Amino acid sequence: MELMVVIGILLVLFFIVGDMIINGLRTTKFQSEQETAVESARKSMGEITKDIRGANTSQRGDYPILTAQGNEMAFFNDVNDDNIMEKVRYYLNGTNLVREIYLPGALNDYSVFSASSTAAMYVNNGALPIFSYFNSNSTTTAAINQIRMVKVYVMINVTPAIAPDDYILESYVNLRNLKDY
């Protein structure tokens, strides 16, 4: 009888300790995923702002900005410092913010796909736009030829249903090649 009580107590302790270990591993995994996503987004935010800041006319003289929507922006920039403007496109694909680069090609029509990469994962903006556009008076604008500043706003969350809340990255970028004089 005493042996049965001891075995019962040991089994209860085993299950309690096992549950604590499993929950600890889950928490560690979640924190690691969240940290990886946030760190990746931080690095990417620097790249995004650098790309947007350097928007410039295309090889054939097109206006620097092609597309200016809430979750998509396309523009020209010399991203690889070869004195040839590439087309850079950022857009939301599910929960990934994707960066695509197109080369000018023989006809300078930017039909040559060069590279694609994920700028940020686990984007959780919902209805909030990633890109917002402002004119020289810092007033919101939808007219591409009036854009002088871009707000980049990204909310990152690996698992939105579980704490912690969204990690917010926000940056305002002045387009240095589109100044009003």
Q: Is residue 119 part of a domain?
A: yes
Q: Quick one: pLDDT band at residue 180, thresholds 50, 70, 90?
A: low
Q: Which residue has the higher pLDDT, 132 or 161?
A: 132
pTM: 0.80
% of the chain exceeding 90 in pLDDT: 55
Mean pLDDT of 4-30: 86
Residue 160 has pLDDT above 90, yes or no: no
Is 77 a domain residue?
yes
181 assigned to some structural domain? no
Asked if the structure places residue 179 within a domain, the reply is no
C-alpha 26/C-alpha 24 separation (Å) is 5
Determine the pLDDT at residue 167.
Answer: 81
The least confident of 19-33, 45-59, 108-122 is: 19-33
pLDDT in tens, 59-78: 888 999 999 999 999 999 99
Name the region of 122 (left: φ>0; alpha: ψ -120 to 50; beta: rest).
left
Is residue 63 a part of any domain in this protein? yes
What letters, b where the CB count within 10 A reaches 16 and e where it falls short, cover 150-169?
bebbbbbbbeeeeeeeebeb
pLDDT over 60 (residue 181): no
- Domain range enclosing 115: 2-174
Can you read off the two tokens belonging to residue 92? 């939301």
Domain count, the chain: 1
Per the domain annotation, does 36 fall within a domain? yes
Q: Mean pLDDT, to the nearest integer, of 81-99?
A: 94
